[in-house]
Structure 1
Amino acid sequence: MDIDLKRLRGDMKRLKAARVASPIGKIKTGATEIIRSNFDELERLHREDGATWTEIASGLAAQGVTQGKGQPLTGRRLTALMHNIRTRAEKLKGKAIVRDRTQILPERSQKDGRTARKTVSLSPEMNRPLGGSVPDQTISEDEIRRTELAKHAHLLGKR
């Protein structure tokens, strides 16, 4: 099946324009950015000065911080924004720690400066052939049973 690349490009351009024009993900009132940039101070006001979230929200609303379609910021919305910002910061911090752990590990290098490759091999017990036979020969299940029985025959007594 052939596709019309010219039409595909046009469709993609149209869909991209619709996505860019969409309100999803765009800054609406700027309240989140204001709270994010003053997060520590708002926390301090709440914890150290004893201000309630409703009082802080009223003070922010008096300075023009709005939510939604120009409505004044409420204590409930401020609490939600603070929680979201805190959660996002913790998530990013966790990712940074994981990223740092991978960068902390030093690379082993060879004498010529190239990075050494780590090779994996079987232990000696796994490398030895069963029953002392040649490795390329196939051993039947019956032979394996007899070999194991012979190893423990002294425990079983006479037959």
Structure 2
Amino acid sequence: MPKLDLKRLAKDVDTLRSNRPVDRGPGGRRLTGAMEVVRDNLEALETLKASGSTWVDIAAGLAAQGVTQGEGEPITGKRLTSLCASVKRQAARKAAAEARRLARPDLQRRSRPASAQGLPPPDLTPGASGSRLAPELQSRPTSPPPDDAPLSEAEIRQLQADKHRHLFKKD
């Protein structure tokens, strides 16, 4: 198996992405905007359906307004229902992911931005939350070490890294 040249791969991907026509998707298929139309107007489409219209009638109305599928054919009722189902699945998946995220115990206090709930922002002063840093991780005012004091492990590591930094630079 040949070894990959990652720099060349990144360049090739960027070239392909920049050469892709704006109205084409990742597989080269034509983007029609039908999914975006359905996503933005799902409630209105379902209201029309509930009022007695068929999906075929609704699709014909959308086609009259320029909504197409594939290579420019008018959108069909079957395609419209599949797009509606996809939008609903995406919304359900997003809601389930959000519920899983909110159920995490480490995110309980920051479940949602306070401004979104109409509440004042939380108190962000140090010590206001229930969690704290371990004592060895808290910042302390330090006085400069005397000149004759031995170097700390971190200082030695930093000096060695600075000494060899030219080896770490990318071409």
On whether the aligned pair clears a TM of 0.5, the verdict is: yes
**1:80-100 deviation per Cα after TM superposition (whole angstroms, max 9, x unaligned):** 000000011000001111112
Hey, what's the Cα distance between the residues in 2 that align with 1:27 and 1:89? 24
Residue among 61, 76, 79 paired with 2:78: 76
Q: Which residue of 2 aligns with 1:130?
A: none
1:36 aligns to 2:39 (yes or no): yes
Kindly indicate whether residue 116 of structure 2 is the aligned counterpart of residue 100 of structure 1.
no
State how far apart, in whole Å, the 1-side matches of 2:13 and 2:63 are. Answer: 37
Aligned length: 107
Query: What TM-score do you get using the length of structure 1 for normalisation?
Result: 0.57
Residue type of the alignment partner of 2:101: R
What is the alpha-carbon distance in structure 1 between the residues aligned to residue 6 and residue 109 of structure 2? 46
Letter in 1 for 2:95: K
- Measured against aligned partners, the alpha-carbon deviations of 1:26-48 in whole angstroms (never above 9, x if no partner) come to 8701010011100001011111x
2:78 pairs with 1:62:
no
One-letter amino acid of the counterpart of residue 78, structure 1: L
Runs of 4+ in structure 1 over 4 Å off:
none
TM (normalized to structure 2)? Answer: 0.54
Q: Distance in 2 between matches of 1:77 and 1:23?
A: 18
* Cα deviations by residue, 1:102-156 (Å, 9 ceiling, x for unpaired): 22269xxxxx947379xxxxxxxxxxxxxxxxxxxxxxxxxxxxxxxxxxxxxxx
Per-residue deviation, 1:55? 0.5
SS at match of 1:82: helix
What is the rounded CA distance, in whole Å, between the counterparts of 1:23 and 1:37 in structure 2? 19
Question: Is the CA contact (8 Å cut-off) linking 2:30 and 2:71 kept in structure 1?
Answer: no
Aligned position for 2:13: 15
**Structure 1: which 5+ runs fail to align?**
107-111, 118-159
Q: How do 1:127-146 residues align onto structure 2 when only pairs under 5 Å count?
A: none
Which protein has the larger Cα radius of gyration, Structure 1 or Structure 2?
Answer: 1
Segment drifting more, 19-28 vs 81-90: 19-28
SS of equivalent to 1:38: helix
The whole-number CA distance in structure 2 between the counterparts of 1:93 and 1:81 is 18
SS at match of 1:96: helix
Q: CA deviation at 1:50?
A: 1.0
**Percent pairwise identity:** 36
